[in-house]
Amino acid sequence: MPVHDDEEKPMASEDQNPIRIQLKRIKDWRLPDGARSCARPQLFGNPYAIGAKDGLVREPAADMVTPWEYEDRCSSPGIQHDMHWPSGQVTVHHVRHMTRQESIATHRRALIAPTSSLRIFHQRRRQYVDVALVRRELAGLNLACFCRLDQACHVDTLLWVANAPEVEIKQAAEDEYQIIREMAERVVALHPELLCAAPNFGRGAS
């Protein structure tokens, strides 16, 4: 539930930076004060779950250079799902489940550099999750997930977005958008007919 201005948020201790905590399914274990769960199905859970229908990638990416990208079509792991272009050309792509690192990278890009095809939307809450919401709701809090502490986790991204200087987040977002623009430019170079079908294709990815 969102924290309102007249409610007091439990904060991390003043003598330490906010940290990641591992949630545990054991009797009598409780989430510590000053922490918030960011596991699924909570608002800040990672929707790009390993092994789930939203945790798929295609390889290679549509630009045929980038090794993989988020599979935003209705697809299934383990299949060949080719892309059919307006010119009649067909490029071969294979779909598989994301690795842990790919899941975290996809969540990071969707959070700090959202596009029409990749952004975080919590279906049950009917709410978009963006940088402003993370900074408003999670700044100063310890954050929890079920991932082991010796593993990378999307909560590492949330802690950074919630507490890093805003200028640092904006620069990281611009870096991500630059990668997205470069990928789109390579797709257009391969399929120039896209500019006739959609004149703004690959432009203004921000």
pLDDT 10s digit of each residue in the chain, 206 long? 333 333 444 555 555 799 999 999 999 899 998 899 999 999 999 999 999 889 999 999 999 999 999 999 988 999 999 999 999 999 999 999 999 999 999 999 999 999 999 999 999 999 999 999 999 999 999 999 999 999 999 999 999 999 999 999 999 999 999 999 999 999 999 999 988 755 554 444 54
pLDDT of amino acid 7? 42
d(CA 109, CA 107): 6
How far is the C-alpha of 156 from the C-alpha of 153, rounded, in Å?
6
Cis omega (within 30 of 0) for bond into 41: yes
Sign of the C-alpha dihedral computed for residues 140, 115, 55 and 62 taken in this order: negative
Could you tell me the strand order of the sheet in which 142-145 lies?
A: 20-22, 142-145, 35-37
What pLDDT score does 12 carry?
Answer: 55
Q: Which helix (H) or strand (E) holds 109?
A: helix 100-112
pLDDT of 74 reads 87
Residue 17 carries which side chain, given as an amino acid letter? N
The pLDDT value given to residue 14: 55
Strand partners, 118: 115
Q: Tell me the residue type at 64.
A: M
Q: What pLDDT is attached to residue 190?
A: 95
Q: What is the pLDDT of residue 200?
A: 53
